[in-house]
Amino acid sequence: MRRSREGCAALVSALLVLAGLMSGAAAASSESVPSELSLEQLLRQSLPVEPRDLEVTTSSRFAQSAAQAPGITYVLSGDEIRLRGLRNLADVLRQLPGLYVTSNGILTFVGARGLGRPADINSRLLILLDGMRLNENFYDAAPVGEDFPIDIELVDRVEFSPGPGGAVYGNNAFLGVISITTRRAGSGAGLRWTAGVDSQRGYRSGLSWAQRSDGGVEWGLTASAYQRPEMYTPVDEAEFQSARSQQLNWERSRKLLGYGSWRGLRLQLGLNSYNRGTPSLLGNGPQPELGQANDLNDHGFLQLAYDTGLGDGWDLAARFSAQQMRYRQETPFILETGERGRFRVQSLGQWRNLEVQVRRQLTHHHRLTAGLEVQDDDRQDLVFRALGAEPLQVYQHQGHRIGLFLQDEWQVAGPHLLVLGVRRDGNSNSGSLWVPRLAWVWTASADASLRLMYGGAFRQPNLYETMVNSFSFQGVPRPERIRTVELGWDARLTSALRYHVSAFDSELRNLISLDGEGFSYINADRVRSRGLEFGLEQRWQSGAQFSLALSLQRSLDQSGALLHNSPRTLVKLNHRQPLSDALSIAWQLYSVSRRSTALDDLPGYAKQNLHLLWRAKEGLDVSLGVHNLTATRSYDRTSPFGFAIRQPGRSLQLATEWRLR
């Protein structure tokens, strides 16, 4: 352990020295930047200095200066995502401070600020796509892996606001809000073709077309396919280490997205299907047989959004969405009689969501925001059955929920901003819940600000948790609650060097967890979580960039025991360096400390990625990425008493993007 700590410290020190040495080379290379650039080249240039008045939307649900937002927001642009060679949303989330990602080989899970215990299914983070809530109405889960509804090439920016956001967003905004914004036709007009292949036999291809008229009308259509016909089996058990197991382990996805916008009105239609095959043991003999299990997730959505100014300081934002999620899991079995069959668990969710938000600038120093959110759950069905037989169990449900929120912002005594907010939520299955918000923002100077924030959030038991308890004749768990106090400081040391530091103290009550036998859900004891987050970023005129994110946290239950799957330290390093006008290289390191589980401890690890991008000519990019450069072995345990799942080793990816105007 001591050696690993010393090695990590040496690596960090070496990188900081390297960054200092590169600054001289970056300054020298900046002299060779051509004086005349095309429009596309200008749009794709990285800013040497991040603007202080960068706009964010996630903290308060409307666009505002990051320096004035009542919460901390981390932003990763689409260009930065592509320059770093990030392959999907899970890769993006690994880059963001305070987040850590685990996988069972089928689904991908995200933990935040030390809370991401086995059996959690992304229900404590609210994930938005262009403002639309992606958390579905059965498990409250949101996809972040290959099952995410759009390709990463379509992402324009990702924002993450850590901490409880219940006073603005209601249910699921428990540990934070992740907001993904897609590209508009203005930045992606024309025909685009993307393709990629990797050393693990995966390949993908996509085609997109977008146009923008002189009158401001935009429209576009994208389609993509991904397939990995054979994969390693991530369980270190002899039965699964065979050629047959690899043939039964595969994945594929299909995605389609269409959109159009005009004068503040935007329409989106999306379909995606993710199919995952895995090997499954049949029988209990000395040499059990392997069969084909299958997980299929189909998702479709329609979204209509409208933003406009009403005059006299009034602004209106309205959004309607309708979604359907169908999840099907099939597992083969052999009875003692020798009869074979397949067992299916199928869930179907259909829901509609309406949001209306009104803002009024009452005076130059006073702004008021009010909002209404209504969700109607048309269908929430779950069926257990052996194929060809009558259902063993059917669970059907319908419901609705409604939320009202109010936020008042006062600019007092010059540089001081006071934010007061409250939200009330109620649904058809339980009583109402009130969530407060209080923030004070002090703009100490043009380059520094201090925030003191107090807020809360809740998470209602989802339908799956409720259903499991009904089968075991247990009562419905109480809603989870969280209260957090956070102090944050953000400042610039120079025009190109900035840092931030924040400390938080959270109390979590009624956490919904599986009981000791795994048969029902109960409310656990109180949890106290405290942490410190530090970030540093340096940019150079040449486009070189270095960033460091350090997260330290400690989450304890009432007995003083650490929570399971709760790393105490996260370290994330990024460095990008242009090698010429057309060539750049990016390096990332992310480190996760040791985690405890119900069975044993999972060792900590540090992984590195390297990505080389060659802009061969205007409109043509070619990239080569190496993920897990040092082939570091790591494990996750995503169920309390399940196998330790081995995570992917080293892989190479070759990709290209061709843009035709």
Q: Is the pLDDT of residue 295 over 70?
A: yes
Are 478 and 458 contacting, i.e. CB atoms less than 8 angstroms apart? no
Are 602 and 635 contacting, i.e. CB atoms less than 8 angstroms apart? yes
Q: Which secondary structure element, helix H or strand E, spans residue 367, and what is its range?
A: strand 366-386
Which candidate, 573, 627, 514, 495, places its Cα nearest to that of 196? 627
SS3 assignment for 382-426: EEEEECCCCCCEEEEEEEEEEEEEEEEEEEECCCEEEEEEEEEEE
Q: Count of alpha carbons within 13 Å of 90, Cβ hemisphere only?
A: 17
Q: Which residues contact 129 (CB under 8 A, 6 or more apart)?
A: 149, 150, 180, 182
Q: Is the pLDDT of residue 338 over 90?
A: no
Are 535 and 493 contacting, i.e. CB atoms less than 8 angstroms apart? no
Residue owning tokens 């060792």: 603
Which candidate, 660, 625, 521, places its Cα nearest to that of 196? 625
Give the count of beta carbons closer than 10 Å to the beta carbon of residue 4. Answer: 15
Q: Is the pLDDT of residue 305 over 60?
A: yes
Q: Is the pLDDT of residue 165 over 60?
A: yes
Which candidate, 36, 32, 38, 34, places its Cα nearest to that of 619? 38
Torsions phi, psi for 351 (to 5 deg): -150, 155
Q: What is the pLDDT of residues 254-283, one digit of tens each?
A: 999 999 999 999 999 999 999 999 999 887
**Mean pLDDT, the chain, as a whole number?**
88
Are 157 and 75 contacting, i.e. CB atoms less than 8 angstroms apart? yes
Which candidate, 345, 351, 303, places its Cα nearest to that of 328? 345
Q: Is the pLDDT of residue 483 over 70?
A: yes
Mean pLDDT of 626-631: 96
Give the total number of structural domains in the chain.
1
Q: Is the pLDDT of residue 426 over 50?
A: yes
Mean pLDDT of 364-385: 93
Q: When comparing pLDDT for 45 and 308, which is higher?
A: 308
DSSP code, position 447 = T
Q: Which secondary structure element, helix H or strand E, spans residue 454, and what is its range?
A: strand 448-459
- Could you list the beta-strand ranges (E) of 460-582: 480-492, 497-509, 512-514, 521-523, 527-539, 545-557, 569-578
Which candidate, 160, 156, 149, 161, places its Cα nearest to that of 185? 156
SS3 569: strand
Q: Which amino acid is at 652?
A: L
Q: Which two tokens stand for residue 502?
A: 């924040």
pLDDT bracket for residue 630 (50, 70, 90): very high
Q: What is the pLDDT of residues 311-332, one digit of tens each?
A: 888 999 999 999 999 999 999 9
Torsions phi, psi for 43 (to 5 deg): -65, -30
- The β-bridge relationship of strands 132-133 and 155-162 is unpaired
pLDDT, residue 51, reads 54
Q: What is the pLDDT of residues 52-81, one digit of tens each?
A: 567 888 888 888 888 888 888 999 999 999
Q: Which two tokens stand for residue 283?
A: 């029988």
pLDDT bracket for residue 188 (50, 70, 90): low
Which candidate, 368, 358, 257, places its Cα nearest to that of 306? 358
Lowest-pLDDT range, 119-128, 150-159, 202-211, 448-457? 119-128
DSSP code, position 142 = -
Lowest-pLDDT range, 200-214, 234-248, 328-342, 562-576? 234-248
Q: Which two tokens stand for residue 381?
A: 């069905």
Are 563 and 117 contacting, i.e. CB atoms less than 8 angstroms apart? yes
The Cα-based distances of 341 to 36, 184, 323, 347 in angstroms read 68, 48, 32, 20
Mean pLDDT of 401-421: 93
Q: Is the pLDDT of residue 47 over 70?
A: no
Domain that holds residue 364: 2-660
- The β-bridge relationship of strands 126-129 and 176-182 is parallel
- The β-bridge relationship of strands 74-77 and 155-162 is antiparallel
Q: When comparing pLDDT for 15 and 437, which is higher?
A: 437
CATH code of the domain covering residue 330? 2.40.170.20
Q: How far apart are the C-alpha atoms of 220 and 218, rounded to whole Å?
A: 7
Burial class (CB in 10 A: 0-12, 13-18, 19+), 637: buried
Which candidate, 201, 235, 207, 241, places its Cα nearest to that of 221? 207
Mean pLDDT of 540-568: 94
Long-range contacts formed by 547-550: CB under 8 A, 24+ apart: 547/572, 547/573, 547/574, 547/575, 548/12, 548/572, 548/573, 549/96, 549/97, 549/573
pLDDT, residue 107, reads 87
pLDDT, residue 203, reads 94
SS3 140: coil
First and final CA of the chain: distance in angstroms? Answer: 55
- The β-bridge relationship of strands 521-523 and 314-334 is unpaired
Q: How far apart are the C-alpha atoms of 68 and 415, rounded to whole Å?
A: 10
Mean pLDDT of 433-439: 94
Q: How far apart are the C-alpha atoms of 555 and 73, rounded to whole Å?
A: 22
Q: Which secondary structure element, helix H or strand E, spans residue 8, and what is its range?
A: helix 2-29
